[in-house]
């Protein structure tokens, strides 16, 4: 049987597990910016990247693509997450403590 733990606090999770799924993707078309730069040098670069992907299975260009993120949360962290998904409260508190 699979055991899950909370991605925020590390608590072992039972049936009351919450899954957060996020998709991050560019709202512009990255291809548009590439086309005019497609000279021989870049083709060489792309060939190297493709080779790397083949070898490692990890695309190095993932900043340009969409990203699916998935987290498991305990009920407690789920409640906190829903209130402040981007951690803005925490950022604000950090900024305050610097003063």
Q: For the purposes of burial, counting CB atoms within 10 Å of the CB of 64, is it exposed (0-12), middle (13-18) or buried (19 or more)?
A: middle
Q: Does 78 bind Zn ion (CB under 5 A)?
A: no
Q: Which of 4, 8, 20, 52 binds Zn ion (CB under 5 A)?
A: 8
User: Cβ of residue 99: shortest distance to Zn ion, in angstroms?
Assistant: 30
| Nearest-approach distance from CB 91 to Zn ion, in angstroms | 19
CA separation (Å) from 99 to 50, 90, 96? Answer: 48, 15, 6
Site for Zn ion, rule CB under 5 A = 6, 8-9, 11, 74, 77
């Amino acid at each position: 049987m699979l055991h899950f733990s909370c991605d925020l606090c590390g608590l072992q999770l039972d049936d009351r597990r919450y899954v957060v799924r996020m998709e991050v993707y560019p709202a512009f078309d990255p291809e548009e910016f590439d086309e005019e730069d497609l000279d021989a040098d870049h083709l060489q670069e792309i060939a190297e990247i493709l080779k790397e992907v083949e070898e490692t299975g990890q695309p190095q260009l993932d900043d340009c693509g969409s990203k699916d993120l998935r987290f498991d949360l305990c009920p407690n962290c789920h409640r906190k997450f829903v209130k402040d998904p981007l951690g803005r409260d925490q950022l604000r508190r950090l900024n305050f403590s610097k003063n």
